[in-house]
Amino acid sequence: MTAMASFESVPGGRPTGRGEHARTFWRRVTDGLEIQQLWSQFKADARASYGLYSKEVDWEPVQGETKGRRYRRIAKALFWAMVMKLSPARRVLLIVALAFIVLGMLGFQVQVSDTTVITLGGGGAVFGALALLLLLALELADRVTMKRDLEIAKEIQHWLVPDTPPLIPGVDIAFASRAANTVAGDYYDAFLRSAPASEGGAPDRADSEGVDARRLILVVGDVAGKSVPAALLMATFQASLRTLALSPGPVTELIGGLNAYACQHSQSGRRFTTAFLAELDLATRRLSYVNAGHNEPMLLRAADRPGASGSLERLGQGGLPLGIMRNARYESGQVVLAPQDRLVIFTDGVVEAENESGAEFEEGRLLAALQLERGSSAASALHRLMTSIDTFVGQAPQHDDITCLILDCH
């Protein structure tokens, strides 16, 4: 009875003894996650790690092998792919640790002299386990340092995009972005352009902050790749756009200047950027745009009659992605927005979001989610869309940055 008492609860109080300590330990280790959540997280991590290491494997030689030999060769190739990710010193430490563990388990004997024989029994296995623990500590230290640096980069990147959409009479704007990694290669923005100067040198029809209350810039961009390299190019894109937008000129001049900047940092076209750039004249509701190799935005026209869904237009006029050809020519398209029209600009991470079966979200589901929210605000429609993506994807890992901007006309 005494032993049992240490696992029981005191009347009207909390559980005491070893049971409570075990539960506290388990909550600390798992962060309160359920077993199913832990298993899903482990599967996602294992799938991502396998994808990373399998890229280093030459699969062609194993195609004609028997099943047993094929598995052995694949295991060997994956092992060496993992080992080669380590620094040379850590590779040696790993191999030594594994050797001591294996030899210790086998009870391997080493004859030092005629009278001295060393048996690598349990002590050798313990030494190997300690060496593996040391290697894990070194890798974790690198990971923590890198994570801290990435968090700083994420904070800096957060400064480059707006937290909240601008409040502009006649339009309702909402946007959301979700990075696949700590930092993203997607970019979005909506801002009033600087007012052009009149003949006397003063801003023409500008407010006290020197911006034109008639001209709204909308942009969504997607740098090829993910994580830090894409994020650095995204920052360059943002700085270039803000600088170029200070000068008056059509969107074709803006996109041409962005392409010139991008070509200087694209590594011969390997780091290109797709972008949709538009300028909305708020007085006439005329939208001038250039689509630089980006997913064609959807313009959902207002319903012609109650209960009708309205027509769908795609905005594809433009040219090549930025950073591929320095002298690329871009054409602009123009549409006039009517009250209750909805413009949806998105990156490929939206339509290419995959579930656990490898199926993609696709534009059909995107359009269906948008049609369900035709009478709602831009923010409600965007929330519904992101929820639909989450429901479809489930526990599958996110492979690409997801960004969407919605603009409604009133």
Q: Is residue 373 part of a domain?
A: yes
Residues 261, 127 within the same domain = no
Tell me the C-alpha distance between 80 and 29, whole Å. Answer: 31
Q: Is residue 177 part of a domain?
A: yes
Report mean pLDDT in 10-residue bins for the chain, 410 residues. 44 60 83 80 76 75 75 83 87 87 70 58 76 89 80 77 91 93 87 63 50 84 82 87 90 94 75 94 95 96 61 94 92 95 96 91 93 87 94 88 94
Q: Name residue 409's beta-bridge partners.
A: 171
Cα distances (Å, whole numbers) of residue 347 to 178, 276, 315: 11, 10, 14
Element (H, E) at 34: none
Helix (H, G, I), strand (E, B) or coil at 122: helix
E-strand ranges in 356-401 read none
- Which token pair is 245? 């937008």
pLDDT at site 207: 53
Burial 395-408, CB ≥16 within 10 A → b, else e: ebebebbbbbbbbb
pLDDT at site 236: 87
Residues 212, 94 within the same domain = no
Element (H, E) at 178: strand 171-178
pLDDT at site 14: 52
CA angle 206, 207, 213 (to 5 degrees): 65
Q: Is residue 389 part of a domain?
A: yes
Residues 212, 104 within the same domain = no
Q: 193 with 215: CB under 8 angstroms? A: yes
Q: Is residue 151 part of a domain?
A: no
For the CA atoms of 117, 121, 126, 128, what is the dihedral angle to 10 degrees?
70
- Which token pair is 282? 């708020």
What are phi and psi for residue 327, nearest 5 degrees?
A: -100, 25
Residues 80, 165 within the same domain = no
Tell me the C-alpha distance between 294 and 319, whole Å. Answer: 9
pLDDT at site 286: 95
Element (H, E) at 97: helix 88-106
Cα distances (Å, whole numbers) of residue 12 to 1, 6, 18: 20, 16, 18
Q: Which residues contact 302 (CB under 8 A, 6 or more apart)?
A: 310, 338, 339, 340, 341
Residues 166, 78 within the same domain = no
Burial of 319 (C-beta count, 10 Å sphere; 0-12/13-18/19+): buried
Tell me the C-alpha distance between 117 and 228, whole Å. Answer: 54
Tell me the C-alpha distance between 49 and 401, whole Å. Answer: 19
Whole domain around residue 219: which residue ranges? 158-197+208-409
DSSP character for 406?
E
Q: Is residue 1 part of a domain?
A: no
Tell me the C-alpha distance between 179 and 188, whole Å. Answer: 13
pLDDT at site 114: 60
| CATH number reported for the structural domain that contains residue 172 in this entry | 3.60.40.10
Q: How many CB atoms lie within 10 A of CB 27?
A: 11
Q: How many CB atoms lie within 10 A of CB 389?
A: 22
Residues 357, 261 within the same domain = yes
Interaxial angle between packed helices 227-244 and 122-160, expressed in degrees from 0 to 180 and rounded to the nearest 10: 10
Residues 168, 266 within the same domain = yes
Residues 216, 348 within the same domain = yes
DSSP character for 272?
-
Sign of the dihedral defined by the CA atoms of residues 232, 236, 237, 239, in that order: positive
Tell me the C-alpha distance between 385 and 174, whole Å. Answer: 12
Element (H, E) at 229: helix 227-244
Residues 213, 237 within the same domain = yes
Residues 280, 394 within the same domain = yes
Q: Is residue 339 part of a domain?
A: yes
pLDDT at site 306: 46
* pTM to 2 decimal places: 0.72
Residues 238, 253 within the same domain = yes
Residues 76, 113 within the same domain = no
pLDDT at site 75: 83
Q: Is residue 273 part of a domain?
A: yes
Domain tally, the chain: 3
pLDDT at site 5: 43
Q: Is residue 247 part of a domain?
A: yes
